[in-house]
């Protein structure tokens, strides 16, 4: 029985993805622990998805720990858990794992190019990835990068398209293009002083988007809104989806092969790698299976792997005669580089009574909503209490208008109108226009919102003799996203289409074989 490599590779990739998703959760777990409010949050998040993530974090951190602290058996070992939670920061783009700083080569190159300098901190973070790449080749691409999972998914989708007789296209892009992308990107970074390639690079996108998603998710959950805030995801997710569709329907595997700037960089450094796939000519039967299995489009059958090989070992799995082997070509050199990699340590450097009251419902939380608009010389500050009101409960709106240059306070009248924003730009006014209550320098209104949804509050004021109208957006409660029905509808349509087509194809095949 031949031992396959791909299940191991898939497991490593999934493990890395899980760690990327877990990093922001561990950070939040540590925060709750050090704020001594974990028990409270556990109760508040019970039965919710965020609670499950927190529990997973604790389960992971608590492996092998005795539940004991300060001599009390059964008490959560708070200090040890906090200590352990600090062992993972960041993502596959740049991470700190057990005190070891690991930074993607592309990140290092871009940062150095954009700032036109190389700092010692960065060098220590690049050392281990650089040495490992020189030793093992592009293994980052095959074993770590989350794009590998997207590509694998695209390959399955492509099989589905073929089964449905939808005839996916097959365009070939040159593998040399990625070096052009890398050169253009690094040049642009050096020119503008702003890194550009991290917008395109899948490991950077996945890390950034997972951080943004979990931050928004926990922030909203603390205010008792538990739906997943998909709106926190940005253009990066869109780009990943686009890559998936293009890989499935037009150009299989094109990103890693032909366009990825990081892949180009790792290829350059992996050129003289010591871990290589070699072929026993006597055992090879020239069956071409390895060439077809190679996700990089290389030819192991004729020893044409060059510097692009990422040691994914798919060719070893495909080989029917075990003619392909993987191993270090220069044993002594490999041992020396490995020792150097191990020797490099990345840890090259090493409230006065402020209470953590943020999680107490009883504490009079000041609003976390402050919208600012300018009208002539006046600055209009719009705050709501609470920042995200609940429907059916009276909520305050406070407006403060002043001139920052002279500190003069606006003395005229302000009227407020509140309208619910409906689908397709429809609006329904349910409040005002109503004159404000004056409270010193402030203008106050009390509005009760009828239901969860998006609202628009309109202020009418006369600034400098000119009547002005200002519009402020406000979200009440936890409204469902307007994209939800569209997404569900599209998903249902695609499922129906796939199922109907599959049934038709099966039937046609049966008829063809029946007579």
Which 219-248 positions form the footprint of other proteins (CB under 8 A)?
219, 229, 231-232, 234-236, 238-239
Q: Among 115, 458, 462, 468, which residue sits at the site for other proteins (rule: CB under 8 A)?
A: 115
The values of phi and psi at residue 458, to 5°, are -110, 125
Quote the least distance from Cβ 218 to other proteins, whole Å: 8
Tell me: does residue 24 bind other proteins (CB under 8 A).
yes
Q: Among 9, 138, 158, 208, which residue sits at the site for other proteins (rule: CB under 8 A)?
A: 208
Count of residues of this chain found to bind other proteins when the rule CB under 8 A is applied: 98
CA 248 to chain centre: 22
String marking each residue 62-101 x if it binds other proteins according to CB under 8 A: ------------------------x-xxxx-xxxx----x
Are the CB atoms for 283 and 146 separated by under 8 Å?
no
Comparing CA positions, the residue from 246, 319, 250, 241 lying closest to residue 278 is 319
Burial level of 298, CB count in 10 A (0-12/13-18/19+)? buried
Strand partners, 402: 379, 409
Helix or strand holding residue 470 (H, E): strand 466-476
Tell me: does residue 446 bind other proteins (CB under 8 A).
no
Quote the least distance from Cβ 328 to other proteins, whole Å: 28
Q: 243 vs 274, which CB is nearer to other proteins?
A: 243
Quote the least distance from Cβ 190 to other proteins, whole Å: 9
Q: 26 vs 316, which CB is nearer to other proteins?
A: 26
Q: Among 371, 419, 421, 498, which residue sits at the site for other proteins (rule: CB under 8 A)?
A: 371
Only segment of 161-169, 197-205, 274-282, 323-331 that touches other proteins (CB under 8 A): 197-205
Comparing CA positions, the residue from 474, 463, 467, 363 lying closest to residue 419 is 474
Comparing CA positions, the residue from 476, 366, 488, 477 lying closest to residue 419 is 476
A 10 A CB-CB count for 126 gives 24
Q: Among 326, 339, 409, 494, which residue sits at the site for other proteins (rule: CB under 8 A)?
A: 409
| Segment 286-289 long-range contacts (CB within 8 Å, at least 24 positions apart) | 287/320, 289/318, 289/319, 289/320
Tell me: does residue 262 bind other proteins (CB under 8 A).
no
Q: Among 17, 30, 142, 217, which residue sits at the site for other proteins (rule: CB under 8 A)?
A: 30
Residues between 376 and 395 that touch other proteins (CB under 8 A): 381, 383, 385, 387
Those residues whose C-beta lies under 8 Å from the C-beta of residue 10, and which sit 6 or more positions away, are 152
Q: Among 77, 224, 271, 398, which residue sits at the site for other proteins (rule: CB under 8 A)?
A: 398
């Amino acid at each position: 029985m031949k031992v396959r490599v791909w299940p191991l590779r898939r497991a490593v990739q999934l493990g890395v993805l899980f760690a990327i998703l877990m990093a922001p959760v561990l950070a939040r777990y540590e925060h709750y622990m050090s704020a001594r409010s974990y028990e409270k949050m556990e109760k508040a998040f019970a039965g919710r998805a965020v609670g499950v993530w927190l529990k997973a974090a604790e389960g992971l951190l608590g492996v092998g720990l005795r539940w004991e602290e300060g001599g009390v058996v059964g008490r959560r070992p708070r200090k040890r858990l906090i200590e352990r939670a600090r062992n993972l920061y960041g993502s596959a783009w740049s991470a700190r794992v057990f005190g070891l700083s690991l930074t993607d080569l592309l990140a290092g190159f871009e940062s150095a190019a954009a700032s036109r300098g190389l700092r010692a901190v960065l060098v220590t973070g690049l050392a281990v990835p650089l040495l490992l790449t020189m030793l093992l080749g592009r293994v980052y691409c095959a074993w770590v990068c989350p794009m590998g999972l997207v590509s694998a998914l695209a390959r399955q989708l492509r099989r589905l398209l073929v089964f449905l007789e939808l005839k996916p296209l097959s365009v070939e892009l040159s593998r040399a293009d990625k070096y052009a992308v890398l050169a253009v990107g690094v040049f642009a970074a050096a020119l503008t002083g702003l890194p550009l390639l991290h917008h395109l690079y899948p490991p950077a996108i996945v890390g950034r988007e997972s951080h943004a998603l979990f931050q928004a998710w926990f922030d909203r959950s603390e205010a008792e809104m538990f739906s997943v805030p998909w709106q926190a995801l940005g253009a990066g997710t869109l780009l990943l989806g686009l890559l998936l569709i293009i890989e499935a329907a037009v150009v299989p595997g094109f990103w890693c092969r032909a366009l990825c700037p990081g892949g180009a960089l790792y290829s350059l450094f992996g050129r003289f790698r010591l871990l290589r796939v070699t072929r026993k000519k006597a055992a090879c039967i020239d069956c071409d299976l390895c060439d077809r299995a190679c996700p990089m489009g290389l030819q192991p059958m004729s020893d044409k792997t060059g510097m692009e090989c990422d040691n994914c070992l798919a060719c070893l799995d495909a080989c029917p005669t075990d003619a392909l082997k993987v191993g270090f070509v220069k044993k002594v050199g490999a041992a020396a580089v490995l020792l150097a990699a191990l020797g490099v340590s990345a840890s090259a450097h090493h409230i006065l009574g402020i209470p953590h009251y943020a999680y107490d419902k009883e504490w009079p939380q000041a609003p976390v909503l402050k919208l600012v608009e300018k009208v002539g010389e006046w600055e209009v500050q719009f705050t709501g209490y609470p920042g995200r009101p609940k429907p059916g409960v009276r909520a305050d709106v406070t407006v403060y208008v002043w001139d920052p240059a002279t500190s003069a306070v606006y003395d005229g009248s302000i009227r407020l109108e509140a309208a619910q924003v409906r689908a397709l730009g429809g609006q329904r006014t349910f409040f005002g226009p109503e004159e404000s209550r004056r409270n010193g320098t402030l203008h106050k209104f009390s509005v009760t919102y009828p239901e969860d949804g998006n609202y628009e509050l309109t202020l009418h004021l006369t600034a400098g003799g000119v009547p002005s109208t200002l519009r402020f957006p406000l979200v009440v409660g936890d409204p469902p996203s307007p994209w939800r029905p569209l997404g569900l509808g599209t998903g249902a349509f695609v499922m129906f289409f796939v199922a109907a087509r599959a049934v038709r194809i099966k039937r046609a095949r049966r008829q063809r074989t029946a007579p």
